[in-house]
Amino acid sequence: MDNDPELEAIRARRMAEMQGKGGAAGGMPMGGAPSAESAQREAAARKDAEERRQMILTQILNPAARERLSRIKLVKPDLARQVSTSLHTRHATINTVLICSCRLRIC
């Protein structure tokens, strides 16, 4: 490769910027692992999303249906997640008022 002094200066400045920020672009440190701050932000975002999901389920399911879904969640968490995702989608597309436990039958 050519040892162009201008190119070397640009590379040196870019490297200093990356090290000064504490990592490479995207909030990742030089090793490639997420920083503690970004991990905390992601955890907080996941927690907020889960709280919103639970709030919507509380609004659209009656108590018997919520109980049934919680029992399903104990045995088959992935199935309960699919059901709740389906309910959220349905709630978003159709303004569902209340779903009773008789409609929450899973075959």
**Average pLDDT, stretch 8-28?**
69
CB of 62 within 8 A of CB of 99? yes
Kindly report, residue by residue over 63-84, the tens digit of the pLDDT.
Answer: 999 999 999 999 999 999 899 8
Reference 67, options 82, 80, 56, 52; nearest CA is: 80
Q: What is the pLDDT of residue 102?
A: 60
Kindly report, residue by residue over 82-99, the tens digit of the pLDDT.
Answer: 998 888 888 777 765 556
Q: What is the pLDDT of residue 13?
A: 82
